[in-house]
Amino acid sequence: MTAYIIRRILVAVPTLVVLILLCFFLMQVAPGGPFTSERPLPPQVLANIEARYGLDQPLWKQMWDYLVGIVTRFDFGPSFAYRDRDVNDIIAHGFPITLTYGLISFVVATLAGMGIGVAAAIRHNTWLDYIAVGATFSAQALPNFVMAPILVIVFTWQLGWLPGGGWNGGQWQYLVMPVIALSTSYVASITRIMRSSMLETLNSSFIRTARAKGLPEHKVVWRHAMKPAMLPVVSYLGPTFVAMITGSVVIDVYFSTGGIGRAYVDSALNRDYAVMLGVTILYGGLTVLFNLLVDVAYAWLDPKIRY
């Protein structure tokens, strides 16, 4: 197992390097640059700015300086759009915000989704099951960019219970709507996966054996059915977790949370190369890490899997 984990980490390094290279050159190919604006800069001014940021150097040199900066100084470069901040600042500010609401949403979505899913499977073909299935279908059909403004209309304008946006250091009042908006569709997906997987497990022969032995139903479900039924859910949770903690531009746009999702999209629109690369590396690193964790969790859940 340890050897497997080390091997995976070693493979991750070239993966990330390829990711950086690909991202770096794709950005160069995109039309326009960081200083393309409605008021085109006089050539001399543009030249001055490019010299300031080293953009007048050949591409390989820019790439090399960038990598050297990361490795030697852990410096991910400057932001072209915001001069008083660099990439480290932007990530250090935005990522904890995204991590906070993402983590809470993940816990909410996982607990609610698995709970409802298991309950619906146990009470298969009862009114509880029908409500759960109906509600999850509607929740999935309602995208968060529709849900977010509706939440603001209801909770801020009509009821006056919650502030319409902002972060304020993550006070709970500011977290409620982002968490609802972000977790709802995930609750729905997890419920559906959990329900169908649990139904399948409950119909398998080893469960019939357990029941035949006369085990009480709660023991059958929690002791025997739960672990195998969770496998499809866990494989879904890995990428979901990364998606949730790396932020949602929709949440940042509608609730002005100031998270990293918005910064990432902005960096692409602004051609803010270093910010874009920095966030891509962060996302890439997290994806690699959580895929590894999911594989390790698999081995724990399913004794048949060996690395």
Partner 1 sequence: MKSTPKILAAMLLGATAATGSAFAAGTHPVTGEALAEQQVFTYRVLDEHSSVDPQIVEDVSGSDVVRDLFEGLMNQDAQGRLVPGTATGYTVSDDRLTYTFSLRDNAKWSNGDPVVAGDFVYAWKRAVSPELASPYSWFMELMSIENAARIIAGDVPVDELGVSAPDDMTLVVRLSQPLPYFPQMVTHATTFPVNPAVVEAHGADWTRPENIVSNGAYVLTEHIPNERSVRERNPMYWDAENVILERTVALVINDENTALTRWLAGELDRTEVPAGQFPRLQKEHPGEAISFPRLCNYYYTFNLSESGPEAFRDVRVRKALALAVDRKIITENILAGGQIEAFTFTPAATAEFEVPDVEIASMSQAERDAMAKTLLAEAGYGPDNPLKFEMIYNTSESHKKIAVAMSQMWKQKLGVETTLANMEWKTFLEVRANQGFELARGAWCGDYNEASTFLDLLTSPSGYNDGKYSNAMVDELMTLAKIADDTQAIYTRVEQEIADDVPIIPIYHYAGVYMLGSDVGGWPISNIEQNWYSKDLYKIAE
Binding residues (CB under 8 A) for partner 1: these are 30-33, 35-42, 44-45, 48-49, 51-52, 81-85, 90, 93-94, 148-149, 152-153, 156-157, 160, 163-167, 252-254, 256-258, 262-263, 266, 269-271
Closer residue to partner 1, CB minimum distance, 210 or 249? 249
CB of 166 to partner 1, least distance (A): 6
What is the C-alpha to C-alpha distance for residues 231 and 218, in angstroms, rounded to an integer? 20
Closer residue to partner 1, CB minimum distance, 33 or 285? 33
Beta bridge mates, 86: 78
What is the C-alpha to C-alpha distance for residues 106 and 101, in angstroms, rounded to an integer? 8
Closer residue to partner 1, CB minimum distance, 238 or 261? 261
CB of 301 to partner 1, least distance (A): 39
Closer residue to partner 1, CB minimum distance, 257 or 280? 257
CB of 167 to partner 1, least distance (A): 5
* Backbone CA torsion sign across 32, 35, 39, 40: negative
Q: At what angle do helices 260-270 and 273-301 cross, to 10 degrees?
A: 140
Closer residue to partner 1, CB minimum distance, 146 or 305? 146
The tokens for 147 are: 């849900």
What is the C-alpha to C-alpha distance for residues 234 and 240, in angstroms, rounded to an integer? 10
CB of 222 to partner 1, least distance (A): 43
CB of 142 to partner 1, least distance (A): 17
Closer residue to partner 1, CB minimum distance, 83 or 218? 83
- Cβ contact 117:193 at 8 Å: yes
CB of 54 to partner 1, least distance (A): 12
Rounded to 5°, the CA angle 47-53-59 comes to 90
What's the burial of 117, exposed, middle or buried (CB within 10 Å: 0-12/13-18/19+)? buried
